[in-house]
Structure 1
Amino acid sequence: MNLYVGNLPYTVTEADLRDAFSAFGTVESVSLATDKFSGESKGFGFVEMPSNSEADQAIKALNDKPLKGRNIKVNQAQPRSERPQRRPRY
């Protein structure tokens, strides 16, 4: 199950997320969203856990709980919706 993790402190690392979620089971992958120009965190990321039951436990245990001083939001990631085509700037 792919999990969305939001309201992250900008100082959190992928290793921090892996540590927090691995307490509930196997973590397949972790990715933090970063600004493509500055490389700084955007304050959210995704954690992939192969077991749905372990992922559900992680959601129940970590949602609205503090991580490095901020209460994080954890839920099942939703598929990205189609965005309208952008017009090029001239």
Structure 2
Amino acid sequence: MSIYVGNLSYAVTEKDLKIAFAQYGAVKQVKLPIDRETGKKQGFAFVEMDNDAEEAKAIKKLDGGEWMGKTLTINKA
């Protein structure tokens, strides 16, 4: 069970994502990929939650919303 979170601000941290998604259920893991060549964040992440119902609630509430100056794209990974 994993959620794709796209169009993230490059300033976002794993902690920021855990806090945002914890409102909708238990967050198991956050992966925030880093570009190997530049060492910079790639602007997307994967969030793993405890169950499908929590994921569905987070997707419904956060997809298309504005966060840190960006409009989020959120769906099942």
TM-score normalised by length of structure 2: 0.95
For residues 1-90 of structure 1, the aligned pairs below 5 Å read 1-77=1-77
Structure 2: runs of 5+ lacking an equivalent: none
Percent identity (aligned): 44
Segments ≥4 residues shifted beyond 6 Å: none
- Paired residue secondary structure (1:37): coil
Count of residues paired in the alignment: 77
For the aligned residue pairs, the C-alpha RMSD in angstroms reads: 0.7
User: Could you give the per-residue CA deviations for residues 20-70 of structure 1, whole angstroms, max 9, x where no partner exists?
Assistant: 100000000001111012221110010001211011000000001011110
Q: What amino acid is the match of 1:63?
A: D
Structure 1: runs of 5+ lacking an equivalent: 78-90
